[in-house]
Structure 1
Amino acid sequence: MTQIAGRRRWWVLPVGVLVTYLTLAYVILPALWHHHEREPGLASLPMVTRTASGIPGDALNVGLVGSKEDVVRAMHAAGWFPADPITLRSSIEIVGSVVLDRPYHDAPVSPLYYDGKKEELAYEKPDGRSADRRHHVRLWMVLEKGSVGRPVWLGSITFDRGVGLSHDTGQVTHHIAPDIDAERDLLMRDLREAGMVQDFFQISGTGPTLFGRNGEGDPYYTDGEIHVATLVVDGARRTEAPVTMPPPPLIALKDQVWHGIRNALSQ
């Protein structure tokens, strides 16, 4: 009888393992990695942009706290150029920049949408002579008043590594480099070195992602954190180092593990 009962219960162990895995992977760990203690108003917001066709686009990975004027002043001080709107003239100019390898520091960027709205601000930083390679960020105001009473912006920043055909639509487009965390870190560093930041903090974004794909089918990976810079008011340059508010201990541990993975991926 004991042997028969044992055979009947062979499924208990694998089912238990499966239930434990599902509970950890889809309930406990996501809950532990989900933190918005600095800006609780962001907790319920989506963290991925959309293309005009409704396809998931770039992940949100940066945030700014300050008025629109504060953002404009800070980005200018950090050496970033506002992107031109898409017109016939700017479209011809960006083609000429890529083909003839000539500068176009404020070339237009294709629109992305968040909560049904096109980016309110877009900035870029050239990498080389032409618009073929560039760092660029799109920004949306998502809260008119955050926890400190100032507007909160979220953005997606990526690096255009070259021009090619979309993996999904076949249209001519820029292709992005996969390490979007490196771009996030670049913008935060530029703002800090320009003296435009009061403090830094983190909130949860998409969560750790190894095999993400944007709206053009380009792969990306990220630790899933959004780094947020609270900007100085009215562009008043800060001479002392900004305060960096540490994330919760479990998030810090996750980030350390992810940085090891990121280093392995970048080699």
Structure 2
Amino acid sequence: EYKKNSLPKYSETLRGNRQEPMSFLILAKNDNELVKFFKKSAWYEADYFNRYSLLKLVETSALNKSYLTGPVTPSFWNSNVHDLSFQKPTPKNTIRERHHVRFWKTNIFTIFGKRLYVGTASYDTRIKWLITHKIDPNIDAEREYLFKDLLKSGMILDYQKIQLVGKTTGINFAGDVFYTDGKAYFIELN
């Protein structure tokens, strides 16, 4: 379906402006399998963005503390907010700096009942505005970092790296510049 251009290849801002292209396309049985996949890869499922998690994010950010399940700022794809997000702390173990990825469910299923999930990954270099992060502009480096972690899970049945879009530069909702070669990993879980 992606090759037929029937599904959006980029995340969006709340206003529908184009952001980062998808860097992961994953076939999984359901949400639980995707969560298990990330847990086995030593990533944490992020809290949903709500009043409680926002207050905890502000507190841990101000005090430079860890928040292993800190929320990820909402991002959109196909006019929907992300369904799942995961993060991994850096050796500094602070909410100010982390690896993270967002995933959206699609309405595409294989004949074996696996659902296609699409996602974007980026590396947060620091906090800005107390509730969001500045990302490293090289989103390809984060894609490769995450893929190496995912390989360690032992749950990948098959994968290939595909050219999803052309080389792209852009700016996300927070004004952070990014660039990419436009490639994505297509992964099928066991």
* TM-score normalised to structure 2 length: 0.90
Matching residue within 146, 150, 157 for 1:187:
146
- In structure 2, the partner of 1:202 is 161
Shift of 1:121: 0.7
Q: Shift of residue 148 of structure 1?
A: 6.0
Give aligned-pair identity as a percent. 29
Equivalent AA in structure 2 for residue 159 of structure 1? Y
Report what 2:2 is aligned to: 42
Contact residue 140 and residue 154 of structure 1 kept, 8 A? yes
Q: Which residue of 1 aligns with 2:121?
A: 157
Number of aligned residue pairs: give it.
186
CA distance in 2, matches of 1:148, 1:179: 35
Whole-angstrom distance in 2 between the partners of 1:172 and 1:98: 8
Relative contact order, CA 8 A, sep 6+: which one is greater?
2
The 2-side partners of 1:186 and 1:202 are apart by 14
Bigger helix fraction: 1
CA 1:146 to 1:203, structure 2 compared with 1: closer, same or farther past 3 Å?
farther
What is aligned with 1:140?
Answer: 104
Which of residues 42, 46, 56 in structure 2 aligns to 1:79?
42
Instruction: Report deviation, 1:172.
Output: 5.4
User: Quick check: 2:72–2:85 contact (8 Å CA) kept in 1?
Assistant: yes
Q: What is the distance in 1 between the residues matched to 2:96 and 2:8?
A: 30
Deviation at 1:80, TM superposition (A): 0.8
With normalisation by structure 1, the TM-score equals 0.65
Aligned to 2:95: 131
Shift of 1:106: 0.4
In the alignment, what sits opposite 2:179?
A: 221
Aligned equivalents of 1:80, 1:206: Cα separation in 2: 27
Amino acid at match of 1:175: K
Please tell me the residue identity of whatever aligns with 1:225: K
SS at match of 1:194: coil
Deviates more, 1:152-161 or 1:191-200: 191-200
Following the alignment from structure 1 to structure 2, what is the Cα–Cα distance between the partners of residues 137 and 178? 15
The answer as to 2:14 corresponding to 1:52 is yes
Deviation of 1:147 (Å): 6.9
CA displacement at 1:212 relative to structure 2: 2.1
Offset of 1:216 from its aligned partner?
A: 1.8
TM-superposed CA distance for 1:173, in Å, is 2.5
**Structure showing greater Rg:** 1
TM-superposed deviation, 1:58: 2.6
Q: CA deviation at 1:136?
A: 0.7
Q: Which one has a larger percent strand, Structure 1 or Structure 2? A: 2
Please give the alpha-carbon distance, in whole angstroms, between the structure 2 residues aligned to 1:113 and 1:228: 20
Secondary structure of the structure 1 residue equivalent to 2:39:
helix
- Verify the 8 A CA contact 2:13 2:172 in the aligned structure 1: no
